[in-house]
Each structure stands twice: as structure tokens, then as C-alpha cells.
């Protein structure tokens, strides 16, 4: 594919890209369509990105699919989003397996309907042995809540005498997060013109590089992903050290 040819094989190290897929509603409004039409068009954009990602050296793709704050949206929109989620969890498992994609879901499942939780469990099980791209969906996810949950788990271990408080450090704390088995994101992409992280992966993105697009998510495609990765590859990541 043309996109992959522009990045040398040597540069294609395993890359973790996180994406805030913003702008579905504004895309629909600009066209006189209901917001749900933007969300459905956004799924098509996601398919393009998932298909292109492995060719750009991306091994992990984490998507801010539904935040813990999104419950504040109009009830009709939330119902539409949940219906869309149900449909694609039922229909996409075969496509994920065909493309050797593993699905992981992070976030608080307690507020999700039991049928959605069952569908998540089923797709995670069906794709767990796939060795290609790991696609992580953040559902009912909030970075602050994730950090608080990890702190609570460690506090419970301390109270039970299983953990010495003096042993708590950034590494051990990171191991208490539900993302402990994932590498930290190398690159965050946000579409839609906004330039903020919106409570997404707050702990994990300590040294993540950011690339922002004015493009609304439904218009985002493989070439845009390539452009973001190319910009990332051209940056010097010092992790607090002095550059060369």
C-alpha cells in the first residue's frame, strides 16, 4: 500500500497510537444530518484506520470510544451510541479475526448494559489469540477514575498487609492500572480541532507526543494517520534528558 512505502522498514518500530475521535456531531450538523449519522460515518473512518495502522508500524491502537462524561449527552444520542456499539460488537468479530486484530476493552463496565458486557467478553475471547494489531476500546472510561481505582486497589493491599507502602513507586502503581499490560502511548491524535486530552489516559500519557487535526473524525483516513505518524517519527523524544 502506498502509505506504508513512505516510511522505511527500519523506522517501523512497534508504535502505540491513542486517538480521541472527535467531531462526529459537528460533521453531521454541517451537513444538516442528525448526530447519529456522524457516529455511523465515524465507524467507517475507524475501519480505514484499523486497516492502515499495521502498515505504519502500529502495534497498539487505543480509541476513546465513550468517556465516563459522555453519559451527560442527550439520552437519545446515548441510546444511539449504545445501539451502534451493540451492532458492531456483534458484526465485527469475524472482520477482526480475518485481520488478526485483538480487541481489548478498558473502562468501568458496571454502568454498561449486561448484554453489552456479554458482547465485549465474547469478542475479547474470540480475538485473544490474534497476534497482529491490538485494538483497545476505552468504554465508560475516565483517566481520573482509572487512577483512583488503582490507588484503591493498592490501599486495599496495604490494609490487608500484602503490600508495604514504602514499596509503592511509579512502576508498581502503573502495574495496578488496567492498562498495565499495554505499552504507554507514543502518540496521541485528536481530531475535530480541539487541543486537550479530555481525561484520557492521564497516567499513561506522561511522555506521549500529541498531533492535533482540524479534520472531523468522519473525514479522517489512512493518509491522515500516515501524516501523523510521519510527524511523530520526525520528533526527538528526550524523556526529560538533554537532546543530542
pLDDT tens readout for residues 50-67: 999 999 999 999 999 999
pLDDT of residue 161: 97
Domain with 224, as residue range(s), is: 12-141+186-233
**pLDDT of residue 2 exceeding 80:** no
Output the CA angle 178-135-133, nearest 5 degrees. Answer: 120
Give SS3 for 140. strand
pLDDT of residue 1: 44
C-alpha cell at 6: 513512505
pLDDT of residue 13: 58
Q: What share of the chain is helix, strand, coil (3-state, %, to 5)?
A: 50, 15, 35
Span 89-103, average pLDDT: 92
d(CA 33, CA 38): 8
**pLDDT of residue 216 exceeding 90:** yes
The verdict on residue 160 lying in a domain is no
The verdict on residue 155 lying in a domain is no
The verdict on residue 45 lying in a domain is yes
Give SS3 for 1. coil
pLDDT tens readout for residues 29-50: 999 999 999 999 999 999 999 9
Taken in order 45, 50, 56, 60, the sign of the CA dihedral is: positive
pLDDT of residue 7: 43
CATH code of residue 107: 3.40.1180.10
End-to-end CA distance of the chain: 34
The verdict on residue 168 lying in a domain is no
The verdict on residue 87 lying in a domain is yes
Segments of 177-231 assigned E as strands? 187-190, 209-212
Span 113-139, average pLDDT: 96
The verdict on residue 136 lying in a domain is yes
C-alpha cell at 149: 481505582
Reference 54, options 89, 96, 106, 93; nearest CA is 96
Domain count, the chain: 1
pLDDT tens readout for residues 196-213: 999 999 999 999 999 999
Would you name the residues annotated as active-site residues? 22, 70
Amino acid at each position: 500500500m502506498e502509505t506504508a512505502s513512505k516510511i522505511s522498514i527500519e523506522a517501523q518500530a512497534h508504535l502505540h497510537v491513542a486517538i480521541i475521535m472527535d467531531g462526529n456531531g459537528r460533521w453531521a450538523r454541517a451537513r444538516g444530518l442528525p448526530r447519529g449519522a456522524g457516529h455511523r460515518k465515524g465507524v467507517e473512518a475507524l475501519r480505514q484506520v484499523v486497516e492502515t495502522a499495521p502498515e505504519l508500524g502500529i502495534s497498539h491502537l487505543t480509541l476513546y470510544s465513550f468517556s465516563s462524561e459522555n453519559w451527560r449527552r442527550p439520552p437519545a444520542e446515548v441510546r444511539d451510541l449504545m445501539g451502534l456499539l451493540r451492532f458492531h460488537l456483534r458484526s465485527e468479530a469475524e472482520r477482526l479475526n480475518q485481520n488478526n486484530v485483538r480487541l481489548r476493552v478498558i473502562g468501568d463496565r458496571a454502568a454498561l448494559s449486561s448484554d453489552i458486557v456479554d458482547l465485549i467478553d465474547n469478542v475479547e475471547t474470540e480475538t485473544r489469540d490474534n497476534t497482529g494489531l491490538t485494538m483497545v476500546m476505552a468504554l465508560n472510561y475516565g483517566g481520573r477514575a482509572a487512577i483512583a481505582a488503582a490507588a484503591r486497589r493498592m490501599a486495599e493491599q496495604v490494609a490487608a498487609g500484602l503490600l508495604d507502602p514504602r514499596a509503592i513507586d511509579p512502576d508498581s502503581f502503573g502495574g495496578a492500572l488496567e492498562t498495565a499490560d499495554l505499552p504507554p502511548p507514543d502518540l496521541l491524535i485528536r481530531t475535530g480541532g480541539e487541543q486537550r486530552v479530555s481525561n484520557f489516559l492521564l497516567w499513561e500519557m506522561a511522555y506521549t507526543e500529541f498531533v492535533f487535526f482540524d479534520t472531523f473524525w468522519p473525514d479522517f483516513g489512512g493518509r491522515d494517520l500516515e501524516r501523523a505518524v510521519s510527524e511523530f517519527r520526525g520528533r526527538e523524544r528526550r524523556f526529560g534528558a538533554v537532546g543530542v
